[in-house]
Structure 1
Amino acid sequence: MPSSPALRVKAYAVHLLTASGIVPAALAMNEVARPDGDPRMVFLWLLVCTIIDAVDGPLARRYHVKTNAPAVDGRTIDDLLDYLTFAFIPLMLVWRMGWLPHGTGWTVSLAMAASLFGFSHTQAKDESGGFFRGFPSYWNIFAFYAGLISTLASPWASAVLMWILTILTVTPVKFLYPNLTPRRWKPWILYGSVLWVVVMLWMLPRYPNVSPVTFVVSLIYPAFYTIVSFKLASRGKTTDDGG
């Protein structure tokens, strides 16, 4: 695509949009650090970060930021913010809220370290195939469920789940890259995620004291996403085919 002043402005505007994620990230961390911090507010700010992250990728590809705004590496900004909002802040929230057994809170640092290696791996994102390598550091989602699991079951269940996901973060398993999902599955993945977020927002006012039935219903989409990821990865499906 030939460059032009208008395209360059739009490309740099995409970089600004990506960088704007630092504002809700800072507000989320401030809530974590407060003595009376409310985890529900943390999740709302992290949701804003996630929305920005979901939007800026397609915009970056549409306006060819690597060509039209080459002075700024948007991937670096994106990776730094992703680590903060998908890994560091939510895991600090888990530790801060005591959603792990007494004396094991420090193990969130192991998950953080695994995510560092996950983000820095040269094949962390297979954009041509449409996959993440390893568990894609969805620790913001884990944190949401850690509060529920610790309340409905046991902090040990949250800890075991976190340790399993930590191992998966640095293993060569594949998870779907939602924006690059094959055409056949893309509506199910993207629209399903919207419905899932609605369910999570519906739970938020009563969080973490929700009914077991609601908790189980909220797990339908994560289970679906995981099953589809493993199914397509095992068949070597890519974003270029029909499913």
Structure 2
Amino acid sequence: MYNNFIRKKLNLFRQNIFFSWALHLLTSFGIICSFFALKNTIDGEIFKAFMWLGLGLFIDSIDGTIARFLKVNESLPHIDGHMLDSIIDYINYIFVPAFMLHYFGILPEILDIIIPAIIMVTSVISYSNKNTKTDENYYIGFPAIWNVVVLYLVILNYDSLINTGVLIFLIILKILPLRFVHPFRTEKFRKLTLVMSFSWFVFTSLIVIIREHSYFSGYYEYCLSVWLLLSFYYIFLTLFLNSGKFAQIYKCGIKLYTTNKALSCKSNLSAEKI
């Protein structure tokens, strides 16, 4: 009986190791998505590039939940899944989109290196900052979702000066102590946010497919309208979650003449409960 018990435990352990490695390989496939997204960008196939970034985004949205369910850290303690995920996320969410900003002429020529450089530097610092996420899974400052931002700029096709203004505004939001929801893990309004996030992903996929292959082109305007309405959910939610803090942020801004006061002010605001 004891031998059977040990055998079952060993079999379970082997299964956990197998599934854990399989999950790490799934996460690693995100770097393949990065490669093809970059290749398609250089080839001028921008919506194919977004398809690969979208696949990378989908993988990133599910692998963490599966990892926690499988307790991957216990099965493969020598593999740092968070580091693996962060490396791939930086390339998919920041580096490739920054390259797109430069390569596709989304910005004025005089700024098409400066703005991507600022985005890459601020984002890499943000990735190394342990205080960019709260215990309630809010992001402090605008999250590094530049892949999504560039997608909006390409689809909406505004003037390059407007694009520059939008990007500068978001860079400023990145250093302000505002709370932004995680699309899957923030507890407040989580069920509604999950539904809205899933719907947004579906309509984003439809828009990209229509733009690339012209399938169902008659429904493009409808998909675009719904997509924009879904996008406003996150804007309104951010405003709601941070209502009452804007006056404090203004006072915080007055104190920015010294680093210590600025950091202290940001820490105090970030520590507040919603």
State the TM-score bracket (shorter-chain normalisation).
Answer: 0.7 to 0.9
Q: Counterpart of 2:191?
A: 187
Match of 1:174 among 166, 176, 179: 179
Q: Counterpart of 1:165?
A: 170
The answer as to 2:69 corresponding to 1:58 is: no
- If asked which structure has higher relative contact order (CA below 8 Å, sep 6+), I would say 1
- What SS does structure 1 have at the residue aligned with 2:184? helix
Name the % identity: 25
Deviations 1:20-42 (A, max 9, x none): 111111110111222xx211001
- What SS does structure 2 have at the residue aligned with 1:179? coil
Pairwise CA distance, 1:212: 8.0
TM-score, with normalisation over the residues of structure 2?
0.75
Pairwise CA distance, 1:4: 2.5
Match of 2:26 among 5, 11, 17: 17
Which has more radius of gyration? 2
TM-score, with normalisation over the residues of structure 1?
0.84
Match of 2:201 among 178, 184, 197: 197
Pairwise CA distance, 1:110: 0.5
CA RMSD of aligned residues (A): 2.5
Counterparts of residues 91-110 of structure 1 (less than 5 Å): 91-106=98-113, 107-110=115-118
Q: Counterpart of 1:241?
A: none
Pairwise CA distance, 1:190: 1.7
Deviations 1:73-110 (A, max 9, x none): 00001111111001110121121110112311111111
Deviations 1:112-134 (A, max 9, x none): 111111111112233x3121222
User: Structure 1: which 5+ residue stretches go unaligned?
Assistant: 238-243
Q: Counterpart of 2:4?
A: none
The answer as to 2:119 corresponding to 1:111 is: yes
Q: Report how many residues are paired.
A: 229
Cα pair distance change 1:230/1:72, threshold 3 Å: farther
Match of 1:6 among 11, 15, 22: 15
Pairwise CA distance, 1:54: 0.4
Distance 1:224 1:123 in 2: 25
Q: Counterpart of 1:81?
A: 88
